Amino acid sequence: MLISSELAGFSLNEADNLRKAMGKKKPEIMQKFAEQFVTGSVANGCAEQTAREIWDNIVKFGGYGFNKSHSTAYALITYQTAWCKANHRSAFMAANLSCEMESSDKVKALCDDARRSRIAVLPPDARSSDWEFAVEPDGIRFGLGAIKGTGSRAVQAFLRARQELVAEGRELDLHGIAERTDPAECPRLCWEAIIKAGAFDFTGHNRGAVLAALDSALAEASRAASDRKAGQGSLFDAPADPPAGAAAERSDGIDDSKALSRQDTLRAEYEVLGFYLSGHPLEERAGLFSILSTVRTTDLATRAPGSEVWLAGLIVGLSELVVKSGSLAGRKMARMRLEDLEGGVPVTVFPRTFEEFREHLVEDAVVVCRGKVEERSEEPALILEEVLPVDAALRRFEGGLLIHLEPEDAGLLPSLKGLLTRHPGKRPLFFHVRGNDGHLRRVRVHQELRVDINADLAREVDDLLGRGRVRLVRL
């Protein structure tokens, strides 16, 4: 545009029209500008031959210049981001997490990436969390903006209240922050989400107990807001001096008898984060699940569409649907998500499968699924073929147990033998041994040492050798 304007005397509007023709790869339109360009250039003192050479270069540039400029810009950004990730990984991951806060799936993937880099993702904390993710000495602090049910206005009101209390040297707790937070700006649903996410775990109280105290805290906040609007002070606006010679005692009004169970706490956390952050309902069965699964959710992308897999996990987000058209119209089907310790995968249950296995398709049920990999544009998915409770899957399997051993495990063999003898059963046992030459060999253990395959055995092997060392093997 600058060349055509300065050299050939094009108006800015004409130069822009030339740019549009070049960008849209329309040579017939560009050709209309050819004589105007040469004539204008000659009029400005440029030799005609030189003007035509410049024009030919412009036409040639129009064939690749747009793509080249974009690839150059992307190459620069790629280099910059790679440098940031390599040299300032915590800050880079925190920035990425803040950019993707609206997608719990992307936040989960980035949190997993951070952990693989040995960067801890710290849970939300009412004392230190901001709207975005932030770097702290011990890791990356979870941002309040990534909690479902919050909003910018509500969180900013929460943070202002916290800042006021800190400036006054007041204690940060549920009642103190609520008292300074305008209920009109930070509604109850926001408070519930923040508590369920674990932001008040620092108090030492169970999240259920904190939730149970929320009504009284918000009632106090409402009264305080009314007093502020009326211009009245409260006797408790300023901290009282502690009695001489004794520490001031204060009750925070939280009843620990209202605690939630571990399972309910994690379920509430999943509800507001979209994934499990502080733990996982399947942790105690991790070893057993690795035995029963032929693939992890994070590895499904490597499986070909249509291939069959077995996957043990937790059913979440189950919804029933009625088919509206076609030969299956009027019959019920379902969609759900199957979660393992690594992530989750969407699962489609067509009517025939839904009717056959309906009793096992229950929210929060722990099951073993057989399915076929379905190709999707963004992520893998499964089409369910069969679903079994864990015990039924173990009874149905007729094979043995295979334990993978490395040369450095030699010192652990006495402990492994003691562990295996504590779980006698009928299943044959095999060792997958990697020798000093690097080759793998399968060795069948003497028939006197047979085992019962159960969750305790799987967990103990995981604790001794590390996760992923044991699996089922067909005979």
Taking the C-alpha atoms of residue 136 and residue 134, their distance in angstroms, rounded to an integer, is: 6
* Per-residue pLDDT tens over the stretch 290-324: 778 888 888 888 888 899 999 999 998 899 999 98
Per-chain mean pLDDT for the chain:
87
259 has a pLDDT exceeding 70: yes
376-402 mean pLDDT: 83
Closest CA relative to residue 4, chosen from 47, 33, 45: 33
Please give the model's pTM, rounded to 2 decimal places. 0.67
With 0-12 / 13-18 / 19 or more C-beta atoms within 10 angstroms meaning exposed / middle / buried, residue 45 is exposed
User: For residue 77, what are the CA distances in angstroms to 67, 71, 100, 164?
Assistant: 15, 10, 18, 40
Which pLDDT belongs to residue 189?
A: 94
pLDDT at position 122 is 95
75-97: average pLDDT: 96
Question: With 70 as the cut, is the pLDDT of residue 245 above it?
Answer: no
Instruction: List C-alpha distances in Å: 263 to 133, 207, 268, 297.
Output: 26, 12, 9, 22
The answer to whether 382 and 368 have CB atoms below 8 angstroms apart is: no
Tokens of residue 339, six digits: 């979660």
Given a cut of 50, whether residue 243 has pLDDT beyond it is: no
250 pLDDT above the threshold of 50: no
Structure confidence at residue 357 as a pLDDT band (50, 70, 90): very high
Query: What is the pLDDT at residue 463?
Result: 84
Domains of the chain plus CATH, in order, are 2-83 (no CATH), 94-231 (1.10.150), 283-390 (2.40.50.140), 397-473 (no CATH)
Q: Which of 124-138, 169-183, 417-431 has the highest mean pLDDT?
A: 124-138
Q: Which of 33-37, 151-155, 460-464 has the lowest mean pLDDT?
A: 460-464
172-218 pLDDT, tens per residue?
A: 889 889 988 888 899 999 999 999 999 999 999 999 999 999 998 88
pLDDT (0 to 100) of residue 10: 95
Q: In the prediction, which pLDDT does 232 show?
A: 56
**How far is residue 161 from each of residues 121, 211, 318, measured CA to CA in Å?**
25, 19, 39
Residue 268 pLDDT level (bands cut at 50, 70, 90): very high
Is residue 251 pLDDT above 70, yes or no? Answer: no
Higher pLDDT: 395 or 56? It is 56
**pLDDT band of 246, cuts 50, 70, 90:** very low
pLDDT at 426: 87
pLDDT of residue 252: 65
Q: Helices in 280-340 by DSSP H: which ranges?
A: 286-292
Does the structure show a pLDDT above 70 at 238?
no
Cα 229 from Cα 209, distance rounded (Å):
31
Place of tokens 């040639």: 60
Lowest average pLDDT, out of 45-59, 106-120, 368-382, goes to: 368-382
**Secondary structure, 3-state, 239-287:** CCCCCCCCCCCCCCCCCHHHCCCHHHHHHHHHHHHCCCCCCCCCHHHHH
Q: Which amino acid is at 79?
A: Y
Please give the pLDDT value at position 239.
46
